Amino acid sequence: MDTHLLLLFLGVDLLLICTPGPDWLYVVARSLGQGRRAGLTAVAGICSGYAIHTVLAAAGLAAALRAIPGALPLVRYLGAAYLAFLAVRTLLALRKSRAAVTALDPQPPAVVLRQSMLTALLNPKGVLLYLSLMPQFIDSGTSVPIGLQLAVLGVLHVLTCGTIYALIALGAARAGQALTSTPKAARRMTAVSGVLLLVVAAVTLNTH
């Protein structure tokens, strides 16, 4: 593969990853509300979701989705609905808590991993990356199969995402720790996390 194309893709991909979007905000929400472990678990789930996107793109599903006009809007609506569901459930759990100053128990890592993986799979920004951006960096003049080139670009994207999002998770978790020194403050931060998930749902719904 052409080295210039790879470097150019990395530069464009890095700019896109650093631009706040559904995944970016989801990592912040989990890190603020539940701490470093949940934040890094969310990063692992999101990267796993993009790894699945990579496999599907290499297998040719990206081309099939591009050929179906209504597929991408459907993914966008499903992603927004799922995030809104997570937000409402978080806020209702706070409301049902018996003691006003009792913090909620953090969700198990397996739950956070599953939720974040689904968030990445249903993120239209991520789907658009595989449908529209990556094909622009395919080198048609090489003997390397297109599927393999997409796989390489996908792996680079996953690694870059993992690095940037992990840094975001660590920073947000440190800020959240400073703001959750008491159970009452922890509940408030969980409420902020729930509201932030609603914001992520709105951002997902308006992603084109």
pLDDT digits (tens, 9 = 90+) for 47-78: 999 998 888 877 776 565 566 666 556 666 76
Task: Provide the sign of the torsion angle of the four alpha carbons 169, 175, 176, 178, taken in this order.
Answer: positive
pLDDT, one tens digit per residue, over 154-194 is 899 999 999 999 999 998 888 877 655 555 655 666 666 66
Q: What is the pLDDT of residue 206?
A: 64
Q: Looking at per-residue confidence, does 40 or 191 come out higher? A: 40
pLDDT of residue 159: 94
Name the burial class of residue 28, with classes exposed (0-12), middle (13-18) and buried (19+) by CB atoms within 10 angstroms of its CB: buried
DSSP 8-state code for residue 130: I
Q: Please tell me which residue, 89 or 39, carries the higher pLDDT value.
A: 39
In terms of C-beta density within 10 A (0-12 exposed, 13-18 middle, 19 or more buried), how is residue 32 classed?
buried
Model's pTM, two decimal places? Answer: 0.67
How far apart CA 39 and CA 26 sit, in angstroms, is 9
Residue 15 has pLDDT above 70, yes or no: yes
Q: How many CA atoms lie within 13 A of 175 on its CB side?
A: 16
Least confident of 1-5, 55-59, 103-107, 176-180: 103-107
Contacts (Cβ under 8 Å, ≥6 apart) of 87: 194, 195, 196, 197, 198, 200, 201
Residue 98: per-residue pLDDT: 47
**Mean pLDDT, the chain, whole residue set:** 75
Higher pLDDT, 169 or 105: 169
The structure tokens listed for 133 are 């951006």
